[in-house]
Amino acid sequence: MEKRLMATILAEDQKSFAILPDSPELAKALEEANVPTLLAAYVHLSHDEAFLERFADHIRPAFSYPPTDVPQELADELRAKLRRLLTTGEGVKGTPPSDALLQRIMTVTVGEPVQDEFLELVQDQCGFRPYIDRSKVEGRKAPKADFKVLVIGAGMTGMAAATKLREAGYDFVVIEKNADVGGTWYENRYPGVGVDTPSHFYSFSWEIWPDWQHYHPHGADMQKYMLATADKYDLRRDIRFNTKVEKLVWSDADNKWTVTVQKADGSREDIVVNAVINGHGPVNRYKFPDIPGLNDFAGTLVHTANYPAGLDLKGKRVAVIGTGASSAQLVGAIAPEVGQLTIYQRSKHWVLFNPEIAHEVSEGMRWALANIPSFKEWFRFRVYWSAADGLFSNVLKDPAWEGNMTAVSEGNAMTRQYALDYMHQRFADRPDLIEKLTPDFPIFSKRIILDNGWFDALTRPNVHLEDKGIARILPNGIEAKDGSVFECDVIICATGFNVAKMIGNLTIKGKGGRDLGEEWGEDDPRSYLGMCVPGYPNYFHTVGPNSAPNHAAGQNLISECQVNWIIEALDRVNEAGASAFEVTQEAFEEWNKKVDERMPQMIWTHPLANSYYNNSKGRVFLSWPWRLVDFFNATRAPEEGSYKLLN
C-alpha cells in the first residue's frame, strides 16, 4: 500500500474531554445502557485494563447459551467508576487507547477473540480513526477542474459517493430518478417496512446516529436518517432530481462518456463526463409474478415496492403473493386490520427471532449513545460483530461435517435448531403450520426472515397460509392449484426484484461499441471486485456481481468500501495525467476464477440451496464469498498490475 494511503485522521485527543453533570439523565443512562458497551467506553477513556479483565469470564458471544452473566455487583462497580470518571474527569487519559488495548476491549466485550486483521476496519467503521480524508492528505494532487464524474442514484451508495467525491475535490453531479434522496427507503413505503440490519450499524461510518428509535429501524426511520444526512452534508446541491439515466456511450476518440438522461418534462439531454459511478442498486427494479390472468384482476393490484399512499385495507379481503422478507413485514402489519387474508407461499424461508427487532431504544440508552464519549462507537462495533462477520461461520461449509444434509457445519446445525425450536414453540398447537413452514435446506443458504409479527399473524383466525401454489388469477380472486378459489378485493405482490439483470434498462456501450447488456445477458453478470469490466473504462458499477454480503448485515460497509476504491482509481488517473482507468482482462479473469474456486466452499452452492443469489444456470452471481473484513482489506486501493491507464 502506498505511503499516502497510510495517512489517517487521528481520533480527537481525549484532552478535549468535557465533564458531564451528575444528572438524573446520566443515572438513567448508566442503569439502562448495554453493560459490555459501558465497559468498553470506560476502558477506552481510562485505559483501566485490569478492571476490563475482571469481566472476561462473564461475557460470551452473541446467541450463546448460557448467556452473558456479569454479576450485579460487578456491573454496579462499573457504573460507579464510569459515573465518577464522567462527572469529575478523574482517570481520563489524555491519549486514545493503543491498538493493543483497543483489540483487548473488542475481545473481552464480545466474548471471543478478535484478531489483528479486524483492527483497521473497526478503527474506520466505528469512527475511532477514519481511514482517510483525502482533503487532508499532504502532497495529494488536486483533481483537474475539467474532470467530471456522474453518479447514478442518490440512495446509500450514491450519497456515500457524493460525500466522498466532494471531500476529495472532484467535480460531480448525481442523477436521481426520484424527488428526493433515499433510494430503497424513499421508494418502499408498504405497511411494516423495516430493515433487517440493526440500526446502529446500517449507517455511514462518518455519520453514526445516536437518535434511532428502534434497534431495527422502520423504513420511515431509515429515510429520516437519509434525509437528515443529506441536510447535514448539503448533498442536494449536487443532485438533479426527477431525472432518469437512459444510456451511457463511451467515446474512443476523446475517452469520455456521453450520458443521456430524461428530465421530468420528458425531454432528453446529453451530459458529457469523464467517469460514471453507477449506484442504482439491485433492489429498485421490482417484478410482478408471471401468473396467468394477473392483468385481468378487477380489484386493486399492487407491488410492495410501489405501494400506493392511502391504500385502505380495513375489513377487506386481501391476498399476498410471496413469503419472503417483504411479505413477512407486510403481513405482520396488516393482518389485524384486514377482513380476510390469504398468503400464497411458493417457497419456504427460515425465520429467526431476535427479541431486539421490535424493541424501542430506551430513553437512557439513547442518552448514553448521544452523550457518553465513545459509547456509540463501541455499540456500533458490538452490532457489527454480532450481526455481520461474527455470523460468517454459518455460511462456510465444514469439509468434516457429517451431520444431516440440512446443515453445512456444527454451528450451522445449531442455528438451524435454534430456529426450529422457536418455530415449534410458537406453533405448538399448529402442526399444520410447522409442516408448511419448515424448510428442507440449510439455514442461511437463502435470505432469512426476522420475525416481527409474521408468526403472530399466521395464527390469527382471519389468516390462511396457502402452499398448494397458484393456478391462475381470476377477475374476482385467485384460484389455487387444488381448485380452491379465494375471492378478494386486493392482491399485493411481495415478489421481489429483478436482481440478476444488474444494469436494468440502461444501455451501456463501451470501447469499440461493446454492449454490457449483451455481454451480461439477462442474469449472468461478471465484474472485477463487483465494480469494473474490461472494455468499459471509468465505468464503476457498485454493488455489482459477487459483492453482496449475503452472510449477514453489511451493505453499508460494501458501499463505503467500493466508493473508497473508486476514488483511489480516479486518483491514479489524476496523478498520472491520464484520461481513464480500465481493469485488465487478466485481472478480471483471475478474479472471477478466484470467486468460482471459492464458491463451492460456501453454503449457497449446497445441493438444496436455491435463491435469487443464483442465476438460471445455478451460478451464484450475487454473493461475496468471504467476510466483510476481507472486502474492506481488498478495497483500500487498486492493486498494482490489475489496471491500465488510458492517455
Once rounded to an integer, what is the mean pLDDT over residues 63-75? 89
CB-CB contact of 135 with 521 (8 Å) = no
Please state which of the ranges 57-71, 78-92, 575-589 shows the lowest mean pLDDT: 57-71
Placement of cell 392511502 in the chain: 310
Q: Which band of pLDDT confidence, cut at 50, 70 and 90, is reported for residue 143?
A: very high
pLDDT in tens, 419-448: 999 999 999 999 999 999 999 999 999 999
User: Count of H helices and E strands in the chain?
Assistant: 19, 21
Placement of cell 452452492 in the chain: 605
Domain assignment of residue 89, yes or no: yes
Domain assignment of residue 436, yes or no: yes
Please state which of the ranges 37-41, 131-135, 161-165, 548-552 shows the lowest mean pLDDT: 131-135
In percent, the amount of the chain with pLDDT more than 70 equals: 97
Once rounded to an integer, what is the mean pLDDT over residues 133-159? 94
Residue 90 burial by CB count (10 A; 0-12/13-18/19+): exposed, middle or buried? exposed
Same domain (yes/no): 18, 162: no
Nearest to 443 by CA among 406, 393, 491, 390: 406
Same domain (yes/no): 524, 638: yes
Chain-wide mean pLDDT for the chain? 94
Q: Which band of pLDDT confidence, cut at 50, 70 and 90, is reported for residue 64?
A: confident
Domain assignment of residue 397, yes or no: no
In angstroms, rounded to a whole number, what is the distance separating the alpha carbons of residues 111 and 68?
Answer: 9
Q: Kindly write down the DSSP assignment for every residue of 591-609, as one continuous string.
A: HHHHHHHHGGGBGGGSTT-
- pLDDT the model gives residue 6: 31
Domain assignment of residue 543, yes or no: yes
Same domain (yes/no): 218, 103: no
What is the pTM (predicted TM-score) of this model? 0.94
pLDDT at 79 over 70: yes
pLDDT in tens, 172-200: 999 999 999 999 999 999 999 998 889 99
* Residue 599 phi, psi (nearest 5): -60, -35
CB-CB contact of 609 with 442 (8 Å) = yes
pLDDT at 36 over 70: yes
Domain assignment of residue 554, yes or no: yes
Residue 265 burial by CB count (10 A; 0-12/13-18/19+): exposed, middle or buried? exposed
Residue 361 grid coordinates: 431504544
* Residue 491 phi, psi (nearest 5): -115, 125
CB-CB contact of 465 with 291 (8 Å) = no
Same domain (yes/no): 477, 511: no
Residue 581 grid coordinates: 482507468
pLDDT in tens, 547-580: 999 988 899 999 999 999 999 999 999 999 999 9
- pLDDT the model gives residue 10: 32
In angstroms, rounded to a whole number, what is the distance separating the alpha carbons of residues 234 and 167?
Answer: 12
CB-CB contact of 551 with 575 (8 Å) = no
CB-CB contact of 38 with 70 (8 Å) = no
Looking at the structure of the chain, the number of domains it has is 3
In angstroms, rounded to a whole number, what is the distance separating the alpha carbons of residues 319 and 464?
Answer: 10
Task: Assess whether the previous peptide bond of 66 is cis (omega < 30° from 0).
Answer: yes
Quote the DSSP letter at residue 19: P
Residue 95 grid coordinates: 491519549
Bridge partners for 300 per DSSP: 490
Same domain (yes/no): 557, 423: no
- Domain boundary among the residues 493, 523, 554 is at 493
In angstroms, rounded to a whole number, what is the distance separating the alpha carbons of residues 376 and 642?
Answer: 38
Q: Which band of pLDDT confidence, cut at 50, 70 and 90, is reported for residue 7?
A: very low
Same domain (yes/no): 304, 203: no
In angstroms, rounded to a whole number, what is the distance separating the alpha carbons of residues 121 and 128?
Answer: 10
pLDDT in tens, 278-329: 999 888 889 999 999 999 999 999 999 999 999 999 999 999 999 999 999 9
Quote the DSSP letter at residue 491: E
Output the domain CATH number for residue 342. Answer: 3.50.50.60
Domain that holds residue 517: 145-285+499-646
| Cβ neighbour number for residue 444 with a 10 Å cutoff | 29
Domain assignment of residue 19, yes or no: yes
Same domain (yes/no): 55, 163: no
CB-CB contact of 64 with 58 (8 Å) = no
Residue 311 grid coordinates: 391504500
pLDDT at 4 over 80: no
Once rounded to an integer, what is the mean pLDDT over residues 385-405? 90
N residues, the chain = 647
How far, CA to CA in Å, does 430 sit from each of 27, 221, 283, 464?
Answer: 46, 35, 35, 12
DSSP SS3 for 626:
coil
Same domain (yes/no): 503, 612: yes
Same domain (yes/no): 317, 274: no
Same domain (yes/no): 244, 350: no
Nearest to 163 by CA among 564, 516, 529: 564
Domain assignment of residue 140, yes or no: no
Q: Which band of pLDDT confidence, cut at 50, 70 and 90, is reported for residue 1?
A: very low
CB-CB contact of 570 with 149 (8 Å) = yes
In angstroms, rounded to a whole number, what is the distance separating the alpha carbons of residues 320 and 486?
Answer: 11
- Domain boundary among the residues 449, 467, 493 is at 493
Same domain (yes/no): 450, 504: no
DSSP SS3 for 414:
helix
Q: Which band of pLDDT confidence, cut at 50, 70 and 90, is reported for residue 356?
A: low
- Domain boundary among the residues 443, 467, 493 is at 493
Same domain (yes/no): 607, 535: yes
Which residues in 552-563 are b (16+ Cβ under 10 Å) and which e? bbbbbbbbbbbb
pLDDT at 3 over 60: no
pLDDT at 107 over 90: yes
pLDDT at 132 over 90: no
Domain assignment of residue 352, yes or no: yes
